[in-house]
Amino acid sequence: MSTDSIVRQREIALEVERIKSQVDDTREIYRQVCGLLFFRFGITPTANGLYQPVRKGTMGTPGAVLKEFWQDIQAKARIRIDRADLRPELVELAADMVGTLWERALADADAGLDLERSQLRTVRARAEADVMQAREEVLRKQAEVVRVETQLGDSQAEIRMVESRLAAALEGKRNHEQEVAALREETRLRDEALDRARTDFATELAASREQAQQAAARYEEASRRSMLEIDRARTASAALQCTLDELRQRSAETEAGLREEVDRALRDVSHERHRVGVLEGELALRVFNESRMKPLRRRMNKNQSLPSILPSSRKSLKRRALRRGIAPRVDSC
């Protein structure tokens, strides 16, 4: 089944449901569906074709309604000329000629309407396909934005982890400095004890000197170890600071790139949304033009007196169609 057939069946089903929701009488529903199929979609109604979409009443109901519909169409299509000065056979001949001209004019109008309806269905199908494609592109862009935001969150977590490591290194440096201060305080106390020993214990100068030398040696060793640990702590702190600076620079560059990608993705989403709006506007315009064809169709089906308008009937129909903006046209794809 072609795309046009699918679209037409969908339109017929929607119109039948609308009629069923507005009309309660079963025969009136079948009568309106007959007019819908014959006048709007150019389909010759049958009993089975009426019962399939409506599915109300008995199987004999659509047949009876269809018979009344054709009788009504024949009665309205029959041309009557009331002229007392013409013979009956001339009146009948003139009526047949007028009926033939009316049927030709109606066929020409139906051909133009069918062409316009086919073009509208094609444009509508293409517009729906474009809308679906645009919606898929919007969803893809939104997924890309979520992925970029996730990467940004991971980078920020890595930065927080490095900052935590730096804080731990700084805490270790402070602990080493406290140890050095404690050693210096211990050395000061020992120097004071040595001075007191020199003053109080002059006789034990040799022993005091030996103890002082030992204390000085221990002090130098402790100072050397402390200075080495301080140097190592400073070196580690400088290395961590360089690493932190590098990570911060990389994070800033990564964040700038990610923000550019997010902005670009948002611009693409906005552009696709604009395209969706344009396509939906075109679709609404096509549907609006289709709805404006209905008054012309109803005028053509009225039982009017034709002798006064017959010579210019085709030109009048064209002028009315042009004034109402429903002249057939071919859309470029």
Q: Please work out, in degrees rounded to the nearest 5, the angle formed at the alpha carbon of residue 4 by the alpha carbons of 3 and 9.
A: 100
Can you give the residue range of the structural domain that contains 244? 138-289
Would you list the DSSP string of 299-313? HHHS----TTTGGGH
Domain shared by 142 and 263, yes or no: yes
| Euclidean distance between CA atoms 234 and 323, whole angstroms | 90
Domain shared by 70 and 157, yes or no: no
pLDDT of residue 17: 92
Position 48 in a domain: yes
Pick the last residue of a domain from 53, 77, 101: 77
Position 314 in a domain: no
Number of domains in the chain: 2
Domain shared by 270 and 142, yes or no: yes
- CA distances 105 to 38, 100, 101, 126, 317, Å, are 16, 9, 6, 32, 9
Position 102 in a domain: no
Domain shared by 152 and 267, yes or no: yes
Position 234 in a domain: yes
Largest CA-CA distance found in the chain, in angstroms, rounded: 172
Position 246 in a domain: yes
Domain shared by 169 and 58, yes or no: no
Pick the last residue of a domain from 26, 50, 77: 77
Position 327 in a domain: no
Domain shared by 148 and 39, yes or no: no
> Is residue 75 a contact partner of residue 56, using CB atoms and an 8 Å limit?
no
Pick the last residue of a domain from 61, 77, 93: 77
- CA distances 270 to 67, 140, 195, 287, Å, are 57, 13, 85, 26
pLDDT of residue 49: 85
pLDDT of residue 8: 81
> Is residue 283 a contact partner of residue 124, using CB atoms and an 8 Å limit?
yes
| Euclidean distance between CA atoms 27 and 57, whole angstroms | 8
pLDDT of residue 309: 47
> Is residue 326 a contact partner of residue 120, using CB atoms and an 8 Å limit?
no
Domain shared by 149 and 260, yes or no: yes
Q: What are phi and psi of 309, to 5 degrees?
A: -115, 0
From the first residue on, what is the mean pLDDT of each consecutive set of 10 residues in the chain (333 residues)?
A: 74 89 90 88 84 85 88 68 60 63 58 63 77 85 88 86 86 86 89 86 84 86 87 85 86 83 83 84 78 71 53 61 56 41
> Is residue 113 a contact partner of residue 293, using CB atoms and an 8 Å limit?
yes
Domain shared by 246 and 146, yes or no: yes
Please give the model's pTM, rounded to 2 decimal places. Answer: 0.30
Q: Which position has the token pair 């009048």?
A: 316
Domain shared by 219 and 149, yes or no: yes
Domain shared by 142 and 73, yes or no: no
Domain shared by 190 and 73, yes or no: no
Residue 240's domain is classified under what CATH number?
Answer: 1.10.287
Domain shared by 69 and 161, yes or no: no
Position 332 in a domain: no
Position 321 in a domain: no
> Is residue 237 a contact partner of residue 170, using CB atoms and an 8 Å limit?
yes
